[in-house]
Amino acid sequence: MQHAFEKIWPVLIVEVLTAAIIVWRILSAQRGKELFIRRIPGLNAIDEAIGRATEMGRPVLMVPGIGGFGVVALQALSIFSYIARSTAKFGNRIIMPVADPTVYTVAEEVIRDAYQAEGHPERFDPDSIRFLSDRQFAFASGVAGLIQRERIASSFMFGEFFAESLIFAETGNMVGAIQVAGTVHTTQIPFFIAACDYTIIGDEYYAASAYISRNPTMLGSLVGQDFGKLLITALFTVGMISATLAALDVPALSAAGKWFIELFQIR
């Protein structure tokens, strides 16, 4: 069982403080406060990629990764919901292969709902969301086959990806698809950068739904998480100063530095 380590209070305080800041920003955004987000080219490219698929009359592929149902998959579905609304509007065919059965059931509802919200429920094809396999490479070969057979025009890969990421991205590249990808797994980001046209890096992944939907709750949460990062950066800076002070020969300063380091040190 995984538990918080022995120095629970400093971590709990930082976490609760970060959470409080995020909730505060969400609530203030819901009350109508105007918030600014910087431009993210990868997310602007989503519309371009859908437009290209419309012109070519070829399908749009959306892959939510091979991870289970959790925050990463939910975030991916949130992005795909936006894409599905656009495809519903323009009448593009979509293909969404899924590796996790729980994600599959939720994905079907999310995409169906997106089509209904756009006023085109008749354009939703339940077969467009397909459960392929929960085995990593069986799923990879299934998706690679779909990309080749259907000659997809645009590919969106958001979610948890592992070794299969490059198989998807390179196969998409071979058929000339415009590709936008984002993952929380830092080891897979270089592969996406090498093979995709646009890659969402790091916390841009969590900013994506706020950026494209402009939903006040999500915008507030995004600004809140930036405040959280500021808090952690401030802690880093104090930590660096403390480490320097701890190395000094001045007893009072050294003791203060050591105290702060001890506060967060994990043995």
Partner 1 sequence: MWEPIARFLGPKPVEVVPYYVAGAVIFSVLVIVLLINLPSRARKPLIAIVTFLAGLFYATEFFLPIDEATQKNILTDYLVPARKLGSLLAGMTLTLGILSLVRVHGRNIVRLRAGWYNSAVLLGAMIAMVVFGLIDKYGTHEASKKIFNVLFEGMLINMDATMFSLIAFYIVSASYRAFRIRSVEATILMTAAFLVMLGQVPVGLALTAWIPREGDFAWMRLEVVKEWLLTVLNAAALRAIAFGLGVGGLAISLRIWLSLERGAYFEKEI
Residues 186-225 binding partner 1 (CB under 8 A) are: 186, 189-191, 193-195, 201-203, 205-207, 209, 213, 215, 217-218, 221-222, 224-225
Question: b/e map of 241-252 (b: 16 or more CB within 10 Å)?
Answer: ebeebbeeeeee
Within 148-167, which residues bind partner 1 (CB under 8 A)?
A: 149, 163-164, 166-167
Please say which residue, 92 or 173, places its beta carbon nearer to partner 1: 173
By three-state DSSP, how is residue 260 classified? helix
Q: What distance in Å separates the CA atoms of residue 100 and residue 69, rounded to the nearest whole number?
A: 7
The rounded distance, in Å, linking the Cα atoms of 26 and 224 is: 7
User: Judged by CB, which is closer to partner 1: 230, or 250?
Assistant: 230
Tell me whether residue 217 or residue 254 sits nearer to partner 1 (CB atom): 217
Question: Which residue, 58, 66, 130, is CA-closest to 90?
Answer: 58
Rounded to 10°, the helix 251-264/8-30 angle is 70
Any contact of residue 111 with partner 1 (CB under 8 A)?
no
In the three-class reduction of DSSP (H, G, I as helix; E, B as strand; rest coil), residue 12 is classed as helix
247 touching partner 1, by CB under 8 A: no
Does residue 78 interact with partner 1 by CB under 8 A? Answer: yes
DSSP state string for 130-148: EE--SSHHHHHHHHHHHHH
CA–CA gap between residue 98 and residue 82 (Å, rounded): 18
Residue 138 is a binding residue for partner 1 (CB under 8 A): yes
Q: Which stretch binds partner 1 (CB under 8 A): 40-48, 59-67, 102-110, 243-251?
A: 102-110
For the record, the structure tokens of 84 come out as 């599905």
Looking at beta carbons only, is 215 or 254 nearer to partner 1?
A: 215
- Closer CB to partner 1, residue 232 or residue 248? 232
Among 7, 10, 90, 170, binds partner 1 (CB under 8 A): 170
Decide: 257 and 241 in contact? Cβ < 8 Å: yes
User: Which of the stretches 47-55, 57-65, 111-119, 248-256 binds partner 1 when contact is defined by CB under 8 A?
Assistant: 111-119
Using CB under 8 A as the criterion, what x/- string covers residues 38-67 for binding partner 1?
Answer: ------------------------------
53, HSE (Cβ side, Cα atoms, 13 Å): 33
94 binds partner 1 (CB under 8 A): no
